[in-house]
Amino acid sequence: MSLPNDITGTPAEPRSVGFGPLTATVDYTKLRALPANKYPDYFNRVHQLFTGLEIDLWSQIAQYQGEDQLWLAHALYLYGANRDALPDDFDHTAAVSRLVGRATLRTAMPGAENDAFEREVLRASGWVRGAVVRKLAPPDTAVAAKLNLIYNPPGSDQDGKGETKVGPLQENVLKELPDLLAKVVDEQLRHWVPPTGTKSEPESLDHLRRIADFLQMFVAVGLRPYADSWEEGPYFDGFRYSERLQSTWELPAGPAQLLNWMMNRAQAVGWDRQRGALLVKANYDATRAQDREKLRALLRERLSTDPALSRRVGAMIKLTAAHSGGEGNISVQPIFPSPAWGTKSDWRWRVIRTLVHELMHRLAHPRFRETAEGIRHSQIIGEGFVDLLTVDVYTQLWDAVSKSGRGAQVLLKGLDATKQPDPSFLKVGYGEAGASAVAIRDLVGGDNVRAAFFLGATHLIGLPPRQ
Ligand SMILES: [Zn+2]
């Protein structure tokens, strides 16, 4: 036996590998007994068994290198041994095809430490996604009714039976929102003005890129088995966080972007109880196209008649961390705010939180994002759950950092590493949207939320997929 094997040991067989609420069984004893001249027959038979298709798969596999063939033989064997955990309508043809494609891109061989091979195969094939979603129960009718009230909060009108319902839009109330937004813009912009006689200090995007790549790995492990198990998602499509990170100064700030920024803030500020919850009072219903259009028109008009506000919103866009949607870039501020905001360490902790938040946007399954269009309080989907999961990751990160001693020095490189993150960073933000996401998780459980968010299984949080 070679030295490395003596040290690490060959993994035991049979054994179980855990994926959250799931376990897969691992035992290749019979496969190892198969002589190499039986490989053509093995691949063709297994392929037919899984897919029902009569295809000479071997003619493709024969060109693979020996290690790739070995990888695929084990991968198909493992997949087959755990096939029963998948739902009846699971697409095995697609799964086998993904494994055939993965063999030449593989990152772990059979016998690799920490079950890295099994984790790769069962994630890349779609097995983890399929099996974990099947394992989780959707909310029952009573819970679904409670969820519906959270997704579609009633307005301020009362119907004949004394129950609240969403009445017609109160335009006179909605008209108060632009003034409130202008005040919020002023508040936020003040944080960026350097004290008289000083200049803004640059933040190192290079260092933030390194943190970004670290976070991408940290999230995969910390939110296992959900964050990295969508077989077509960012962990398999070549996404690398650092390559997608850019300065907010690169963001365009034309009329369309000014309006979008205002619409986004109108949601955050308008549902916020501490700021008077104007959208609730106005009976605003985001599922009604005419309500959205009315709000949009109101903000458009304000921007076009108030050049000072337009200029300020333009400045805010250039200083607001953002995710450009879909597979676009993630932007962070290239400077530190004014010392009046807080210390540079305070800010770095906050940027790290922002990096986690923006990464969550990128990891949200498109089917999850689309459900926002079907509910009244769409920001629960757009931001609430994003920030909820951000806090899960940030809490784990702070836990790890505070135990390691050196962790804070690495993350805060060059800054005062004795500074701890502000306690508010460990709380879910986004006002009502965040509080609602927390309430929903209390009702359906954390696994259901993660499966909906990362794997698109939105029925697990009481939202049918959009057609
Ligand atoms: Zn966000």
Last residue in a domain, options 101, 135, 169 = 135
From 70, 105, 135, the end of a domain falls on: 135
- Are 304 and 338 members of one domain? yes
Q: What is the mean pLDDT of residues 17-31?
A: 94
For position 273, what pLDDT does the model report?
86
CA diameter of the chain: 82
Distance 125 CA to ligand 1 centre (A): 30
What is the token pair recorded at 272?
């916020």
> What separation in Å is there between the alpha carbon of 261 and the centre of ligand 1?
12
Contact 131, 22 (CB under 8 A): yes
- Residue 191 CA to ligand 1 center (angstroms) comes to 20
d(Cα 365, Cα 378) in Å, to the nearest integer? 16
pLDDT at position 6: 43
Mean pLDDT of all residues in 368-391: 94
Centroid of ligand 1 to alpha carbon of 372 (angstroms): 14
- Asked whether residue 251 falls in the same domain as residue 274, the answer is yes
If you measure from the C-alpha of residue 382 to the centroid of ligand 1, how many angstroms do you get, rounded to a whole number?
7
Instruction: Determine the Cα–Cα distance for residues 109 and 71; give it in Å rounded to an integer.
Output: 6
Same domain, 196 and 95: no
pLDDT at 157: 54
Which pLDDT score, from 0 to 100, does residue 10 have? Answer: 75
- What's the CA-to-centroid distance between 361 and ligand 1, angstroms? 7
The confidence band for 1, taking pLDDT boundaries of 50, 70 and 90, is: very low
**What tokens appear for 61 in the block?**
């596999």
**The domain boundary residue, chosen from 74, 105, 135:** 135
> Average pLDDT in the 216-234 region?
96
Q: Cα(129) to centroid of ligand 1, in Å?
A: 25
Q: How far is the CA of 354 from the centre of ligand 1 (A)?
A: 8
Distance 141 CA to ligand 1 centre (A): 31
How far does residue 451's CA lie from ligand 1's centre (Å)?
Answer: 19
Residues 208 and 294 in one domain: yes
Cα–Cα distance for residue pair 258/176, rounded to 1 Å: 19
Q: Is the model's pLDDT at 435 over the cut of 80?
A: yes
Question: Does 127 share its domain with 153?
Answer: no
Q: How far is the CA of 9 from the centre of ligand 1 (A)?
A: 45
Residue 141 lies in a domain: no
pLDDT at position 403 is: 87
Q: How confident is the model at residue 36 (pLDDT cuts 50, 70, 90)?
A: confident
Ligand 1 centroid to Cα of residue 404, in Å, is 29
Domain membership flag for residue 449: yes
* Residue 274 burial (C-beta neighbours within 10 Å; 0-12, 13-18, 19+): exposed
Residues 163 and 107 in one domain: no
Residue 334 has pLDDT above 80, yes or no: yes
What region does 20 belong to: left with phi over 0, alpha with psi -120 to 50, or beta?
Answer: left
Residue 204 included in any domain: yes
Strand partners for 23: 18
| Ligand 1 geometric centre to CA of 355 (Å) | 10
Tell me which residue of 462, 425, 456 sits closest to 443, measured CA to CA.
462
Mean pLDDT of all residues in the chain? Answer: 91
| Ligand 1 center from residue 458 Cα (angstroms) | 19
Higher pLDDT, 28 or 404: 28
Report how far ligand 1's centroid is from the alpha carbon of 435 (Å).
Answer: 15
- Segments forming the whole domain that contains residue 80: 3-135
CA–centroid distance, 326 to ligand 1, in Å, is 13
- Residues 128, 164, single domain; the answer is no
Ligand 1 center–CA 330 separation, angstroms: 11
CA 453 to ligand 1 centroid distance, Å:
14
Instruction: Name, in order, each residue with C-beta under 8 angstroms of 459's C-beta and a sequence gap of 6 or more.
Output: 138, 452, 465
Contact 397, 352 (CB under 8 A): yes
- Give the distance (Å) from ligand 1 centre to CA of residue 386: 7
CA of 319 to the centre of ligand 1 (A): 14
Task: Return the CA Rg of the chain.
Answer: 26
Ligand 1 centroid vs 317 CA: distance in angstroms?
14
CA of 262 to the centre of ligand 1 (A): 14
pLDDT of residue 54: 87
User: What confidence tier does 164 reach under pLDDT thresholds 50, 70, 90?
Assistant: low
- When divided into structural domains, the chain yields a total of 2
Same domain membership, residue 384 and residue 310 = yes
Does position 438 have pLDDT exceeding 70, yes or no?
yes
Residue 436 covered by a domain:
yes
Phi, psi torsion values for 40, nearest 5 degrees: -55, -45
Question: Look-up: residue for tokens 């691992």?
Answer: 26
Distance 23 CA to ligand 1 centre (A): 34
Same domain, 31 and 58: yes
Question: How many Å separate Cα 176 from the centre of its chain?
Answer: 34
Task: Return the HEC string of the chain.
Answer: CCHHHHHHCCCCCCEEEEECCEEEEECCHHHHCCCHHHHHHHHHHHHHHHHCCCCCCHHHHCCCCHHHHHHHHHHHHHHHHCHHHCCCCCCHHHHHHHHHHHHHHCCCCCCCHHHHHHHHHHHHCCHHHHHHHHHCCCCCHHHHHHHHHHHCCCCCEECCCCCEECCCCCHHHHCCHHHHHHHHHHHHHHCCCCCCCCCCCECCHHHHHHHHHHHHHHHHHHCCCCCCCCCCCCCCCCCCHHHHEEEHHHCCCCHHHHHHHHHHHHHHHHCCHHHCCHHHHCCCCCCCHHHHHHHHHHHHHHHHHCHHHHHHHHHHHCCCCEECCCCCCEEECCECCCCCCCCHHHHHHHHHHHHHHHHHHHHCCHHHHHHHHHCCCCHHHHHHHHHHHHHHHHHHHHHHHHHHCCHHHHHCCCCCCCCCCCHHHHCCCCHHHHHHHHHHHHHHCHHHHHHHHHHCCHHHHCCCCCC
What was the pLDDT predicted at 3? 42
For residue 431, how far is its CA from the centre of ligand 1 (angstroms)?
12
- At 79-129, the pLDDT tens digits run 999 999 999 999 999 999 999 999 999 999 999 999 999 999 999 999 999
State the pLDDT at residue 161.
55
Ligand 1: centre distance to CA 290 (Å): 25
**Is 467 a member of any domain?**
no
Nearest to 355 by CA among 219, 234, 159: 219
- Whether 466 maps to a domain, the answer reads no
Is 140 part of a structural domain of the chain?
Answer: no
Query: Are residues 41 and 128 both part of a single domain?
Result: yes
Distance CA 41, CA 443 (A): 51
**Residue 366, Cβ neighbours under 10 Å: how many?**
11
Q: Worst-scoring range by mean pLDDT, 171-180, 291-300, 302-311, 322-331?
A: 322-331
Whether 263 and 316 map to the same domain: the answer is yes
Same domain for 56 and 151, yes or no, is no
Residue 105 domain flag? yes
Residues facing 25 on adjacent strands: 16
pLDDT value at 7 more than 50: no
CA of 387 to the centre of ligand 1 (A): 7
From ligand 1's centre to the CA of 402, what distance in Å? 26
Q: Ligand 1 centroid to 307 CA: how many Å?
A: 27
Predicted local distance difference test score (pLDDT) of residue 163: 56
Decide if pLDDT at 219 tops 70.
Answer: yes
